[in-house]
A = this chain, B = another copy of it.
């Protein structure tokens, strides 16, 4: 069915343009005109697939979520799970830049805020058993596992923001050293 195929192919083109724009200019730069320009098409073509700014934003967040899920390591190791979040590659730097940028739209829109709230809750819930495992292995101090998961998520995302804002000060090696020093500081000392 060529028509269907054309439709799917074109939607993929528009989707790629949406991602290109948000990865380069953030959600503040995500407009129908910018997406059309990024794919050398018309705004009419873009609105055919994404009828509003809100639809563009939701699609960009969907793509970000898909790309993020694809990078979540299948691991029971806390360090491995946290290292995977840091902007140590071009791909994770781009993803983090999109997520940090998304907080502006999320805090201004109840529907988007609920999505981000659920995303954070899923992340802390995914970290919790890794925290408990690390505690059982004697690698992490005792304490409420969800509180520790929230604190480790906070440390990691706070480091992400500083690295995106100041990549020369927070290069790949220093980010790994800072995370490792933090996990060492949280080890039970005997």
Contacts and interface: CB of A to CB of B under 8 A. Distances in A.
Contacts of A88: none
A147 interface: yes
Complex copy number for this chain: 2
Contacts of A9: none
A182 to B, nearest CB: 6
B143 A26 contact: no
26 contacts: A25-B108, A26-B104, A27-B104, A28-B28, A101-B107, A103-B104, A103-B161, A103-B164, A104-B104, A106-B165, A107-B164, A116-B165, A117-B165, A117-B166, A117-B169, A120-B165, A121-B169, A143-B181, A153-B158, A153-B162, A154-B154, A154-B156, A154-B178, A155-B155, A157-B161, A189-B189
Interface of A: 24-29, 97, 100-108, 113, 116-117, 120-121, 141, 143, 147, 150-151, 153-159, 161-162, 164-166, 169-170, 177-178, 181-182, 185-186, 189
A108 B153 contact: no
A165 B107 CA distance: 7
B108 A29 contact: yes
